[in-house]
Amino acid sequence: MADGIFITFEGGEGSGKSTQIKRLKDKLESAGRDVVLTREPGGSPGAEEIRQLLVTGAPNRWEPVTEAMLLAAARHDHVVRTIRPALMRGAIVLCDRFYDSSIAYQGYAHGLGPQVIETLTDIAVGDTRPDLTFIFDMDVETGLARARGRGDGEDRYEQMDLAFHQALRQAYRDIAANHPERCVMVAADQSMDAVEAEIRQALKDRLSL
């Protein structure tokens, strides 16, 4: 799609990806690049409204299929209103979570299976697919402790049990193994500088960026 580059960041709770995305945005902007930092669920006015339905309330607030469809609806709005226009004008889009989150959370950890999510994803994103995906991998309990310390009220997923989060970690590892051409695993329990260095190296090797 035009000359833009689409990079997504994935991982379990508290893995430090949001901090790394901000660092990368600053670096790329200092180098004169047009960068759009966005996130899911959210990233467009309509999708941010849907986000509130997803990240607050009791863990069992939604049936898994309802939840997957809400996520797909938010994703479609986000792709059409934010991501595609940015890619069309040649920007670098850095997105905090994208459809791999649905594969991992809803497809595997919630047990819907990957096929349902892939069908919804085809409808939601069409051919707008990431060029590169970083998967932040770290010890589940450490990540959860970090995420729960935030106290931002967006804790619906953090309340899910340890088995859910462990299934999630395995799901992300499987996604990385199944899509080596697109995915790079990052050992997220290192120092922030070490994680940043891994990301910069991968961007150089994979995208000459």
Q: Which residues would be at the binding site for ligand TMP (CB under 6 A)?
A: 13, 40-41, 54-55, 71, 96-97, 101-102, 105-106, 157
CB nearer to ligand TMP: give 150 or 204.
150
Sign of torsion, CA 96 32 206 122?
Answer: positive
Nearest residue to 25 via CA among 94, 123, 126, 81: 94
Q: Please state, in angstroms and rounded to a whole number, the distance separating the CA atoms of residues 163 and 175.
A: 18
CB within 8 Å of 75: residues ≥ 6 apart: 40, 41, 47, 98, 99, 102, 121, 124, 125
CB nearer to ligand TMP: give 8 or 203.
8
**Minimum Å distance from CB 135 to ligand TMP?**
13
Nearest residue to 40 via CA among 13, 93, 78: 78
**Minimum Å distance from CB 68 to ligand TMP?**
8
CB nearer to ligand TMP: give 50 or 185.
50
CB nearer to ligand TMP: give 17 or 34.
17
Query: How many residues does the structure list for the chain?
Result: 209
**Minimum Å distance from CB 208 to ligand TMP?**
28
CA distances from 198 to 37, 114, 138, 144, 182 (A): 20, 29, 15, 23, 15
Nearest residue to 4 via CA among 68, 95, 67: 95
**Minimum Å distance from CB 183 to ligand TMP?**
16
**Minimum Å distance from CB 67 to ligand TMP?**
7
CB nearer to ligand TMP: give 112 or 132.
112
